[in-house]
Structure 1
Amino acid sequence: MLTELMVKPSSWIEKEIQFSQVKGLYLFKFTEELQARLDTLSEQEKQGQLNSEEEAELAGILELNQIFTLLNAKIIAQSK
């Protein structure tokens, strides 16, 4: 059985997440630093240049991104 390693998404909650007001709603958003890190890791992945620690970090950030996308969609849907 193959186990995917991932940095816990909760490790970024305290310092790398912010709220952004959009049309009167507060939505979850990455800080500029975390977004830049995601962009860097994504680019390195495309080039096949990630080590195992970076792969785990990217997996965690992507998981957190999926969670926030779902939460933000629910916030928007419930505001209508």
Structure 2
Amino acid sequence: MTTLFKPSTLIPKGLRVQQINNLTLFKFTDELGDRLQTLLDQKKADRLSAEETIELEAIGELDEIFSYINAVMVAKANEHS
């Protein structure tokens, strides 16, 4: 049986907010970024377990969400420039 890995469980320890010029952006912590890279390396080597595959998908989903939010923030900032 496969356990659901909710992306929201990664936020408390995996998210940092970074101020860049006049923008506040969401970024992964170094710890979560390193974990993502480890999982990607294992996937490339075809050594991911089922649980790690689920974890990688959850981190990927969170990355998509952060990327979208950050893109919206940048676009809104550019509207006011």
Superposition TM-score, scaled by structure 2 size: 0.89
Cα displacement (A) at 1:13:
1.2
List gaps (5 residues or longer) in structure 1: none
Alignment of 1:10-49 (within 5 A): 10-49=8-47
Q: Once the 2 structures are TM-superposed, how far is the Cα of residue 7 of structure 1 from its aligned partner?
A: 1.6
RMSD: 1.5
Q: State TM-score, norm by structure 1.
A: 0.90
Q: Percent sequence identity over matched residues?
A: 43
Matches of 2:4 and 2:59, distance apart in 1: 9
Gaps in structure 2 of 5+ consecutive residues:
none
After superposing on structure 2, the runs of 4+ consecutive aligned residues of structure 1 that deviate more than 4 Å are none
Bigger radius of gyration among the two: 2
Number of matched pairs: 77
8 Å Cα contact 1:20/1:27 also seen in 2: yes
Deviation at 1:24, TM superposition (A): 1.7
